[in-house]
Amino acid sequence: MPRPTASLDGAWTAIVTPFTPDGTGVDVDRLRQQVAFQLDGGVRGIVPCGTTGEAPTLSEVEQDLVISTSVECACGTGCLVVAGAGSNATAHALHRQRRAKELGADGGLQVSPYYNKPSQEGLYRHFMTVADGCDLPIVLYNIPGRCAVTMTPDTVERLARHPNIVAIKEATGSMDSASEIRRRCGITILSGDDSLTLSFAAVGATGVVSVVSNLMPRAIADLCDGCARNDFAAARQVHESIFPLSRGLLSLDTNPAPLKAAMALLGRDSGALRLPMHPVDPTLIPRIQSLLVESGLMSANTGGPGRRTVIEAVQAKGAMA
């Protein structure tokens, strides 16, 4: 079975799941608007139902709804959809991979099994079982900070021999790991950290699964385009312009809490989260606003259309169940 011909290079957005203000439902209209914003920004693809999309708090029905809506919005645009489909139970990960295919996704993002903390052989057999059981392309997701286990370059090299395993989102923060993966095999490497996209490109990565592109997709697309052209001067200029936001915003609290606060300040999301995720502390709102102003996303003369909503939500400790 040949690898898919569609390129997974470039800017990908780990898109948020917009909730209704009370947090009890998915705001489908808002999701369509957010996907349209990404399409207008020129990203290569979107990744619904990932960590940024709060997938662990979504029901199976809601996951299907988010994926199918994303696929519907992207259909015919050239934008691809790689749906979060991972689980810490191999049988369930295979089920979600098959469901992603049925819903029309172009691939599935498969995270390392969290909490179980499997051995490298366990990781290998987990991903191989999913790859053997469904012919939808797999993007591996290596994020030890969330999973308590690191997929080693040796394991990635073994997995990359499978025709259905086509890329890896490398969120280890390790240049050495990315370099070793590139040295060992031809799998597509996507940075899993916005602040490291340019650095990873220098050692062979060809794109990013971005959080910040929820706010500024055009800039992230331009950064990846500059890297692809080997115009690192242009890419560095974009990198420097977005670095305060990409580094500063996501260091304030656990993703996606600060991101959703920023999107609410811009009037682009309700800001609602689901437990155990909780809104940012109210004292962080001015800092988030300053980062948006510094990045040119908000005027210094306004608090933004959603500012009062966000402050009220965090003051009320309004994490939505």
Over residues 82-96, the pLDDT tens digits come to 999 999 999 999 999
Q: How confident is the model at residue 311 (pLDDT cuts 50, 70, 90)?
A: low
Domain membership of residue 132 (yes or no) is: yes
For residues 293 and 179, membership in a common domain is answered with no
For residues 305 and 208, membership in a common domain is answered with no
For residues 14 and 145, membership in a common domain is answered with yes
Question: Which pLDDT does position 67 carry in this prediction?
Answer: 98
Query: Can you tell me the distance from the alpha carbon of 122 to that of 248, in angstroms, rounded to the nearest whole number?
Result: 36
Query: Can you tell me the distance from the alpha carbon of 34 to that of 61, in angstroms, rounded to the nearest whole number?
Result: 20
Helix, strand, coil percentages for the chain (3-state, nearest 5): 50, 15, 40
Its domain, for residue 307, covers 257-315
Question: Which pLDDT does position 310 carry in this prediction?
Answer: 55
For residues 278 and 140, membership in a common domain is answered with no
Over residues 2-37, the pLDDT tens digits come to 344 468 999 999 999 999 999 999 999 999 999 999
For residues 281 and 143, membership in a common domain is answered with no
Q: Is 115 a catalytic residue?
A: no
Domain membership of residue 2 (yes or no) is: no
Residue 1 has pLDDT above 70, yes or no: no
Tell me which residue of 5, 3, 8, 61 sits closest to 191, measured CA to CA. 8
For residues 185 and 291, membership in a common domain is answered with no
Over residues 27-77, the pLDDT tens digits come to 999 999 999 999 999 999 999 999 999 999 999 999 999 999 999 999 999
Sign of the alpha-carbon torsion through 140, 144, 147, 148: positive
Over residues 214-240, the pLDDT tens digits come to 999 999 999 999 999 999 999 999 999
Tokens read off for 103: 């819903």
Domain membership of residue 144 (yes or no) is: yes
Over residues 163-218, the pLDDT tens digits come to 999 999 999 999 999 999 999 999 999 999 999 999 999 999 999 999 999 999 99
Domain membership of residue 153 (yes or no) is: yes
For residues 57 and 116, membership in a common domain is answered with yes
**Residue where a domain stops, chosen among 161, 195, 230:** 230
Q: Is 141 a catalytic residue?
A: yes
Q: For residue 85, what is the domain's CATH number?
A: 3.20.20.70
Distance set, CA 26 to CA 3, 64, 69, 163 (Å): 34, 11, 11, 35
Question: Which pLDDT does position 319 carry in this prediction?
Answer: 43
Residue 266 has pLDDT above 90, yes or no: yes
Domain membership of residue 1 (yes or no) is: no
Distance set, CA 133 to CA 87, 158, 195 (Å): 15, 17, 35
Question: ω into residue 305 within 30 of 0, thus cis?
Answer: no
For residues 92 and 193, membership in a common domain is answered with yes
Question: 142-145 long-range contacts, Cβ below 8 Å, gap at least 24?
Answer: 142/112, 142/168, 142/169, 142/170, 142/171, 142/172, 142/177, 142/192, 143/51, 143/111, 143/112, 143/169, 143/171, 143/172, 143/192, 144/112, 144/172, 145/171
Tell me which residue of 96, 89, 110 sits closest to 67, measured CA to CA. 96
Residue 136 has pLDDT above 80, yes or no: yes
Domain membership of residue 5 (yes or no) is: no
**Residue where a domain stops, chosen among 195, 230, 265:** 230
Lookup result for tokens 């916005």: 194
Catalytic-labelled residue, pool 101, 124, 141, 260? 141
For residues 261 and 224, membership in a common domain is answered with no
Tokens read off for 292: 């948006």
Domain membership of residue 238 (yes or no) is: no
For residues 217 and 270, membership in a common domain is answered with no
Tell me which amino acid residue 101 is: K
Question: Which pLDDT does position 3 carry in this prediction?
Answer: 42
Catalytic-labelled residue, pool 115, 169, 260, 317? 169
Tokens read off for 261: 């606060």
Tokens read off for 151: 């997929």
> What ranges in 206-284 are assigned the alpha helix state H?
217-228, 232-248, 257-265
Query: Can you tell me the distance from the alpha carbon of 282 to that of 91, in angstroms, rounded to the nearest whole number?
Result: 41
**Residue where a domain stops, chosen among 230, 249, 265:** 230
For residues 217 and 267, membership in a common domain is answered with no
Lookup result for tokens 């699964």: 209
SS3 track for 169-219: EECCCCHHHHHHHHHHCCCEEEECCHHHHHHHHHCCCCEEEECHHHCCHHH
235: which residues sit within 8 A by CB, 6+ positions away? 198, 201, 223, 226, 227
Domain membership of residue 34 (yes or no) is: yes
Tell me which amino acid residue 84 is: G
Domain count of the fold of the chain: 2
For residues 174 and 222, membership in a common domain is answered with yes
